[in-house]
Structure 1
Amino acid sequence: MQPWSNEAAYQRIEQTSTEMLSEMKQQVSQSLYTQTFHLQPPFGAAGKPNGMIFYKGKYYISHEWYPFYSKQGLSYGYQYESSDLVHFNTDGSVLKPDSQYDNYGIKGGSTFVYQNNLHFLYTGLGLSREKLLFPYQLLAFINNHHQANKYPKPVVENPPENFLPSLQDPSVFEKNGQYYALFGAQTEEMQGRILVYHADNPLNWQYVKPIKTQLTDFGNVWTSPDYFTLNGYDILMFTAQHEEGSTQAGFLLGHLDFNNFHMNHGDFKLLDEGFGFTSPQTFVDNTGEIVLMGLLEAQGDIELLNQADLAPCLSLPRTLSIEQGKLYQRPYKAYETLRYNEETALGYANKFMRQLHPYEGEQFEMCIDILENEATEIYFELRTSRNNATLITYNTHSRLVTLDCSESGALPQGDFGTKCSVQLAKPLEQLRIFVDSSSIEIFCNDGERVMSSRIFPAKDSTGIRTATESGQVYLKFTKYNLNSIFDLEL
């Protein structure tokens, strides 16, 4: 199938032939890189999460959806439904760009409850009076049949003084009986900010002010804002987009004064120190825990792969906690129900590279426990073959864990990184690794640090190997195959 033209990117799925839709679904089903336990639409590209909530016994997870893959094209809202946040079905609700103010795209937003009913505050892309694309802030009421009834006019239209028309990705929360909405924004000086609005009801949003942080010149626009409290701390989360095109998805940890919206905080910290993780959002699960999901996408174009191969997905759900003043992220515990065919290996590794037999796979969870360590460096290779290997290195002296994707498989064109490192606060005790058809997510020391990346190895790259630089290490490997979370149908 040929890449979609700009004209095709703006066509609507409602006007697309059944044959074309079938062809697009077939391209995804035949791809080696379609994910099995990450949320991904049946065709087209997932965009940033734009509404996640637990409501009346069900989880509703939604994201921007670009059916014809181009993120410069038309976008819809795509939603999944789950009773356990593990096994998913599509509930049939797709928010369509079919009004005056969103007919060029459904963008970021937030689902919330008002008077016991679901509402969706979101950014729609429409035409201004000058016939230019303009972001409008729109409201939809979600009825009991999960159909969206849109309010006919924007609830926030023009940006405040000194800000460009770039308001986007509203995030709604309730505090002290008041509703607040945070918007990603850009000043006239091309600096990123988060703007605060408040309301007694979701039709009447009033501008308050920007949140004052210590980041006065950090990124030229901030997107996907989010706010929540955890263990007495306020956490402000956003994705900073920089002028050269790079993005950083992270958070500020501290205390936000709701009288003047000044935030005292520490350094901006990345949520994921790998590649291609962006636009995370949080919600509260049925037990009251904070759960985070973000977008995982490949960096740039890869000449050998098609659009279906490269289609973005959502990350695994991650449970958040604060421990000793630090944010920890752990894989959502209920994902353990996907496990089957447990295999365990226990023994010493040394400087001679050792293939673990019969342990291999394309989609699996691997827990590696470091029981005794006298090695200078430890090497773990996953999805290995004659030509491919995704390498994880641990340096005992520096406590650096490094993910090296330079030989993982097909690589993007251009100047994109393939190696990243994190430094642990204490010696490495455990790695918990999730490998899907085209991704890897690594949780170090029970969630102290996280690194993720999309990877595109060859079909025969299924091996697992280990070695050291010098000295030996006593290791326990526990590997699980993981079932698919669902079979998507549109």
Structure 2
Amino acid sequence: MGQTDEINDYKLGYHVTPPKGLLNDPNGLVHFKGVYHVFFQWNQTDTTHQSKSWGHVTTKDFIQWKSYKPALEPTDWYDKDGCYSGSAVVFNEEIYLFYTGNVRGENGERFSYQCLAVSKDGNYFEKKGPVLEHPIKGYTAHVRDPKVWQGKAGKWWMVLGAQKENLVGDALIYQSNNLVNWTLVGPLLDEPLSLGYMWECPDILRFADTDIFSFSPQGLEVEGEKYRNIYQSGYFTGHFTENGIFKKNAQDFKELDHGFEFYAPQTFVDDVGRTILYGWVGVMDPKVEAAVPTRKQGWLHALTIPREVRYENRKLTQYPLSEIANLRETSPIIIESSQNEVIKLPSLQQDILIEWSSVAPDFVINLRNEIEICYQSKTKKLSITRTNWKTSIREERATFLTHELTELRLLVESSLLELFLNHGEEVFTLRYFVDETDYLFSFKNLGEPMEKRMMLYTLRSFEIEE
């Protein structure tokens, strides 16, 4: 994490990044004794997907952070080729980390072990080794990413992403009374689905009116504006029963984010009942990943900002956690008009909020002569375009809103953008890279102008204690 005055370093000031090496999935998100713990997949020495440890940072307020030595490292027979993704729960005043130990045999064959580590202080974690049998009949060795939570009557549940022997993605559910001894219940869903060849990073979100099964399927075919990235992340709505079955409703699989790089989200619930989500900003084609400019500085990828997830009026929303506003400087730029605007940003760390008095007209926003955001009010289509840094070709992602657009919020960094529409009805996350020092931001009406209010806040960087 951190910031630099050299724009071409593309450092990020208020996103979690690795001090060096490669970061991917958020792991083990948990609130423990007043402290938020954020773990992440981390190759400490190189910008490749090898030798994964668990990086570890904490915060009490999402403003001041503390970094620690890795919580887990691949040092044992059951995780020697990587401590892969997993989750955390608090039990008996201790943190229980569950993760997948990745092992490769002499001939390259894969073995996956679901493992446990425990901590009394949130700093030192004692490995307990595998807690599940391996392999599982009818499934390949691609079984990983345990997400654990406590249900009714004290039952503990674990859901795992999996791949069947016929190379179709699936999720498996286990049950335990003590977090150590686990019993396989069976497939999570009550009906088989053919939705890609592997499901990663499964999660169950529980709300008053519904439950959410979130996961990241690999191998989906493009359908119009949907599923246009190399891998996807999305969810079903439904109900998780106390016999360990998720009964989904008629709603189709819904993407969580319509940008270019969002993947592997994980949620947790804090002590005031908020469901908070982090995602990985980094999934991309290997050739595109190899060309990311920050590799020259020895680091790669980031996490999203923390987002509060809600389910209201039959709609799942994601919006920046309220604490993000505490990073704002005290004097925003405020513009109230219906006219076109061209602004020189005071910094490349911005929280930009645009609100319309009624509904948004057709418009185009241009950020740093690189990012173009277009809205068509008739169809409620919003699209975002950028330049691919590997091919130099312009590329687009788009979605259609359910409601008229009335609010738009951009969280801008020097090489990362998160865009929230209608208080989180839809979200776009992406990286971008601009070589020249360009601070321009413009708004142009393409239809009949409508009165709007624009507020531009400069954001401070995280304060980090090493």
**TM-score (norm: length of structure 1):** 0.86
Equivalent residues of 2:138, 2:165 under 8 A apart: yes
What is the deviation of 1:166? 1.3
What is the aligned partner in structure 1 of residue 434 from structure 2?
A: 457
**260 and 334 in structure 1: CA distance in 2 versus 1, 3 angstrom threshold:** closer
What is the aligned partner in structure 1 of residue 241 from structure 2?
A: 257
Superposed CA offset, 1:291-319 (max 9, x none):
01000016323647241567110001110
What is the deviation of 1:404? 1.3
* 1:389 and 2:370 are equivalent in the alignment: yes
Residues 92-103 of structure 1 correspond to what in structure 2 (within 5 A)? 92-103=69-80
SS at match of 2:100: strand
Equivalent residues of 1:159, 1:166 under 8 A apart: no
What is the aligned partner in structure 2 of residue 446 from structure 1?
A: 423
What is the deviation of 1:160? 2.1
* Partner of residue 332 from structure 2, selected from 319, 327, 342: 342
Across the two proteins, how many residue pairs are aligned to each other?
451
* 1:369 and 2:352 are equivalent in the alignment: no
Equivalent residues of 1:31, 1:308 under 8 A apart: no
The one-letter code sitting in structure 2 at the alignment partner of 1:371 is S
Separation in 1, partners of 2:59, 2:3:
25
**413 and 74 in structure 1: CA distance in 2 versus 1, 3 angstrom threshold:** farther
* Partner of residue 231 from structure 2, selected from 236, 247, 250: 247
What is the aligned partner in structure 1 of residue 389 from structure 2?
A: 411
Separation in 1, partners of 2:426, 2:416:
17
Superposed CA offset, 1:69-99 (max 9, x none):
4443111110101111332111334321111
* Partner of residue 304 from structure 2, selected from 315, 321, 338: 315
What is the aligned partner in structure 2 of residue 430 from structure 1?
A: 407
**TM-score (norm: length of structure 2):** 0.90
Q: Which runs of 5+ in 2 are unaligned?
A: 222-228
* 1:236 and 2:213 are equivalent in the alignment: yes
Equivalent residues of 1:361, 1:463 under 8 A apart: no
**46 and 346 in structure 1: CA distance in 2 versus 1, 3 angstrom threshold:** same
SS at match of 2:84: strand
Superposed CA offset, 1:16-50 (max 9, x none):
xxxxxxxxx99999852111100011111111112
* 1:280 and 2:265 are equivalent in the alignment: yes
Separation in 1, partners of 2:383, 2:312:
23
Deviates more, 1:122-131 or 1:330-339: 122-131
What is the aligned partner in structure 2 of residue 135 from structure 1?
A: 112
Q: Which runs of 5+ in 1 are unaligned?
A: 1-24
What is the aligned partner in structure 2 of residue 144 from structure 1?
A: 121
Equivalent residues of 1:302, 1:413 under 8 A apart: no
* 1:173 and 2:149 are equivalent in the alignment: yes
The one-letter code sitting in structure 2 at the alignment partner of 1:107 is Y
Equivalent residues of 1:42, 1:488 under 8 A apart: no
Equivalent residues of 1:280, 1:293 under 8 A apart: yes
**287 and 374 in structure 1: CA distance in 2 versus 1, 3 angstrom threshold:** closer
SS at match of 2:271: coil
Separation in 2, partners of 1:264, 1:304:
38
* Partner of residue 319 from structure 2, selected from 317, 330, 334: 330
Separation in 2, partners of 1:27, 1:165:
42
**438 and 321 in structure 1: CA distance in 2 versus 1, 3 angstrom threshold:** same
Separation in 2, partners of 1:374, 1:308:
41
- Among the aligned pairs, what percent are the same residue? 26
Separation in 2, partners of 1:99, 1:67:
17
Residues 2-401 of structure 1 correspond to what in structure 2 (within 5 A)? 32-128=9-105, 132-144=109-121, 146-151=123-128, 153-176=129-152, 177-212=154-189, 216-242=193-219, 246-259=230-243, 261-265=245-249, 266-297=251-282, 299=284, 300-301=288-289, 303=291, 305-307=293-295, 311-340=300-329, 341-349=331-339, 354-356=341-343, 358-371=344-357, 375=361, 377-382=362-367, 384=368, 388-401=369-382
The one-letter code sitting in structure 1 at the alignment partner of 2:242 is F
What is the aligned partner in structure 2 of residue 15 from structure 1?
A: none
What is the deviation of 1:359? 3.9
